[in-house]
Amino acid sequence: MRVRHDAGYPRNAWYALASSAEVTREPLGTRALERAVVLFRTTEGAVVALGDRDAHRPYPLSLGRVEGDTIVSGYSGFAYDRTGACVRVPSQEQVPYGARVPSYLVREEGDLVWVWFGEPSLAERRPPVPTSWLTDHAWETFGGQWETAANVRLLHDNFADITHVAVVDPVISPPTLVGVAPALEVELTETTVVFHRDWPAAPMPAWQASVSGSSATTPYPQREEGAFLAPGLWADRWDVLLPPEEGGPQVFRFTHAVTPVDDRHTRHIWRVSRNFAPGAHASEALRPIFEAYYVKVREILETMQQVIDRDGYGEDVNVAADLAVLQVRKILRRLLADEG
């Protein structure tokens, strides 16, 4: 079946602009949804998100400084409060009427800072999806972030189908992924796609067995779960179902926060969480394995974007494994249509 793959991204959604640890009393400049944004914390620790451009002249506020609960331009000296209103001009007593910069709603969830760029009245009805495992001590978590030179839709497509993993990186791939994939079970709401499938029993990857101290040859049933929870968030998991006498299921949870920078660039914040092999030593062993895989994926998606830039989107030939991909695309198209 051939289905056209179109571009675009909803604006009435929460997008992760940074990790909580990145946002301090020092201004942090970034970009999202074709806008320059500066993030900083108030004296009480609340995160503020403002347009990163001085109202006086085109100079980034992120190159200025934070004083109290205001951010001060490093060029004009204009000071802006957390609402974006200019509250002080060094060269005169009266602040110019209406002088301000855009301000955006902010929420912290898990270890991420989420910002809303759409219609403010809709934000409370669509709160950021909880990601409590990112800060739960029952889970060991590591991760990273970077910018991928590709449209966010290409990242969504990739997360919705893991059957490519065995081709892209045989080292990280669970052995059970080699062969015909079982049928995918998909559950839909108006804005989410949740799917799962049970894979035949097979040994776990050698690197997982080494870190966890488990058998590298014993076949275990395995289960895949994926969830498109919002235009800016994927939360997936892979369970290796060890019996209780061997410690019980070993679970990886994969969190992908994706934020469009523009039509051809996407910020990707990724986290890998696990419920086994506690400690920094295991994380240090696992990090390069997952990081190498995500780098390969980034390079592939950037190549796809280069092909699209040169030849256009064209049409895709889809297979049974693309069931979740097609449902995610439908939701994104509907969200875009709702925004007009």
Per-residue pLDDT, 3? 40
Per-residue pLDDT, 2? 39
In the three-class reduction of DSSP (H, G, I as helix; E, B as strand; rest coil), residue 179 is classed as coil
Residue carrying the six token digits 């198209």: 333
Over the chain, what is the mean pLDDT?
95
Cα gap 106→124, rounded to integer Å: 11
Burial of 4 (0-12, 13-18, 19+ CB in 10 A): exposed
Could you tell me where the beta strands, DSSP code E, fall in 117-219? 140-148, 185-188, 193-202
pLDDT band at 138 (very low <50, low <70, confident <90, very high): very high
Cα gap 266→119, rounded to integer Å: 22
| Mean pLDDT computed over 330-337 | 95
pLDDT one-digit tens code per residue, 243-287: 999 999 999 999 999 999 999 999 999 999 999 999 999 999 999
pLDDT band at 7 (very low <50, low <70, confident <90, very high): low
Per-residue pLDDT, 151? 96
Check: CB of residue 264 under 8 Å from CB of residue 151: yes
pLDDT higher than threshold 90 for residue 5: no
Mean pLDDT check: name the lowest of 95-109, 198-212, 311-325: 311-325
Per-residue pLDDT, 1? 34
Per-residue pLDDT, 321? 85
Check: CB of residue 16 under 8 Å from CB of residue 259: yes
Query: What is the DSSP code (8-state) at residue 184?
Result: P
CATH code, residues 132-338: 3.90.380.10
Cα gap 197→25, rounded to integer Å: 45
pLDDT higher than threshold 60 for residue 6: no
In the three-class reduction of DSSP (H, G, I as helix; E, B as strand; rest coil), residue 217 is classed as coil
pLDDT one-digit tens code per residue, 147-163: 999 999 999 999 999 99
pLDDT band at 140 (very low <50, low <70, confident <90, very high): very high
Reported pTM: 0.94
| Mean pLDDT computed over 10-24 | 97
Cα gap 103→106, rounded to integer Å: 9
Per-residue pLDDT, 83? 98
Q: What percent of the chain has pLDDT over 70?
A: 98
pLDDT higher than threshold 70 for residue 4: no
Selected from 3.30.70.1090, 2.102.10.10, 2.60.40.420, 3.40.50.720, the CATH number assigned to the domain covering 14-123 reads: 2.102.10.10
Per-residue pLDDT, 178? 87
Listed by start position, the domains of the chain span 14-123, 132-338
pLDDT one-digit tens code per residue, 19-52: 999 999 999 999 999 999 999 999 999 999 999 9
pLDDT higher than threshold 90 for residue 204: yes
